[in-house]
Amino acid sequence: MTRLVLAVARDTEERILEPLLERGHDVLARLGLLDDVAEVIARTNPDALIADGDVMTEDLLSHCDDFGCRVVAVCSDETQRRHIARLGLREHVDVGASIAQLEASLAGPDLGSGREEASRGVVTAVWGPAGAPGRTTIAISLAAELAELGARVCLIDADTWSASIAQMLGMLDESPGFAAACRLAGQGALTHDELDRISERYPVSQGTLSVLTGLTRSSRWPELTQSRVTDTIEMCRHWADHVVIDTGLSLESDEEISSDLFAPRRNAATLAALRASDRVLAIGRADPIGISRYLRSHVDLLDVVAGIPVHTVMNRVRSGPVGLAAVSQITSTLQRFGGIDKPTLIGHDERAADAALLEGRVLREVSPRSPVVASVRGLARAMMPEADVPATRRERRARSARSRSTRAWHVSGRATSSP
């Protein structure tokens, strides 16, 4: 039995009310156009709300989440369906849906379904300070390279300031997948089947690349609370072999002391993602200003992650702003002023980056021989278990040559020892 509140048109209410009652559901309230839905939810504390699509708002969804009330929208036209998609609400039915379909949406996903959760994937957070060091580009390229190595990869856009993965991959971002996943996690309803449903697939030739797109408007950041983000990442860890998270840039956490009352924190998603990760790729821009910003922020990052391995990646390396022997100068500067050894240096390839942005595709597709692709591929191969990494063409040629040499030696040995 489900305790329900109805906020639907009169025709819809007359069609579904009696069948719902006959099936044992308890209708606590039947609301009209002028009724305050949020106030009724707070007063009756129902299990679920069935409402017309045009009734739903961001504030009402957030209010229902706070009271643990599941929401099912009834959509009468394409405009309402688009409105519901923009809100990130995946539970909706058409106005003519059967009672069985409505009950299936009310019941939610089967929490016992999905793949076995014995395996745990590896979570990699990609972070970088202010100054556009190329954090999102590296996160996308890393996820694509891991997928091309045969892994099942989940790419998450957890940036509450300037989410952009959907646009960079040419995806429709009407419905933010990560916000939808966090909402389901807050209700205890996030499963592998739900992740399959709300994620966007990016085509790769080998493995699987699933994308949980970011917020369509930065003003929606209160939806990504720390507990929801942590629970979502943990579920994704069991759903994919590798989870790559594009985080926000700010590491500040002092919003909660600006008031006597505890309030949501805009940077909570970034901090939660960093602390839930197994490793952090810290991206810096390889010019004097970028290196200075990185070194100042690197200290704060180490305090936040508290022992989680951090690997430094200096992006857009070129001699113009640094001078001759740019690689040597950057490496020595990082070691001298930050105690950072063995950073990964990625060359500057503006033409390839512009082509990828223009076509809405990953770098490896528009410029497979780019030095950026080669460097990120090296990072991806280092993250994969050695037994799971397919041999490169050069390695296959070397093995073939060694095999031919061995066979020739054996043949020559047999010929020499024959009488």
- Give Cα separations from 354 to 129, 226, 351 (angstroms): 22, 34, 5
Distance CA 383, CA 377 (A): 10
Per-residue pLDDT at 219: 84
Per-residue pLDDT at 410: 47
Q: What is the pLDDT of residues 255-277, one digit of tens each?
A: 544 444 445 578 999 999 999 99
Distance CA 193, CA 71 (A): 18
The phi and psi torsions of 10 (rounded to 5 degrees) equal: -60, -45
Per-residue pLDDT at 270: 95
Distance CA 103, CA 58 (A): 24
Amino acid at 260: D
Tens of pLDDT along the chain (419 residues) come to: 789 999 999 999 999 998 888 888 999 999 988 889 999 999 999 999 999 999 989 889 888 888 889 899 999 888 888 788 777 787 888 888 888 888 888 876 544 444 444 468 999 999 999 999 999 999 999 999 999 999 999 999 999 999 999 999 999 766 799 999 999 998 888 999 899 999 999 999 888 999 999 998 888 888 899 999 999 999 999 999 999 999 999 998 755 444 444 455 789 999 999 999 999 999 999 999 999 999 999 999 999 999 999 999 999 999 999 998 999 999 999 999 999 999 999 999 999 999 999 999 999 999 999 999 999 999 999 998 764 555 555 555 555 555 555 455 444 444 443 43
CB atoms within 10 A of CB 259: 8
What is the DSSP secondary structure assignment for residue 278, as one 8-state letter?
Answer: S
313: nearest Cα among 291, 281, 338, 287? 281
Which residues 6+ apart lie within 8 Å of 167 measured at CB? 173, 360
The helix/strand count (H/E) of the chain reads as 17, 13
Q: What is the pLDDT of residues 214-236, one digit of tens each?
A: 998 888 888 899 999 999 999 99
Beta bridge partners of 6: 30, 50
Q: What is the mean pLDDT of the chain?
A: 86
Distance CA 244, CA 153 (A): 7
Are the CB atoms for 86 and 173 separated by under 8 Å?
no
87: nearest Cα among 126, 56, 131? 56
CB atoms within 10 A of CB 285: 24
Rounded to two decimals, the pTM is 0.71
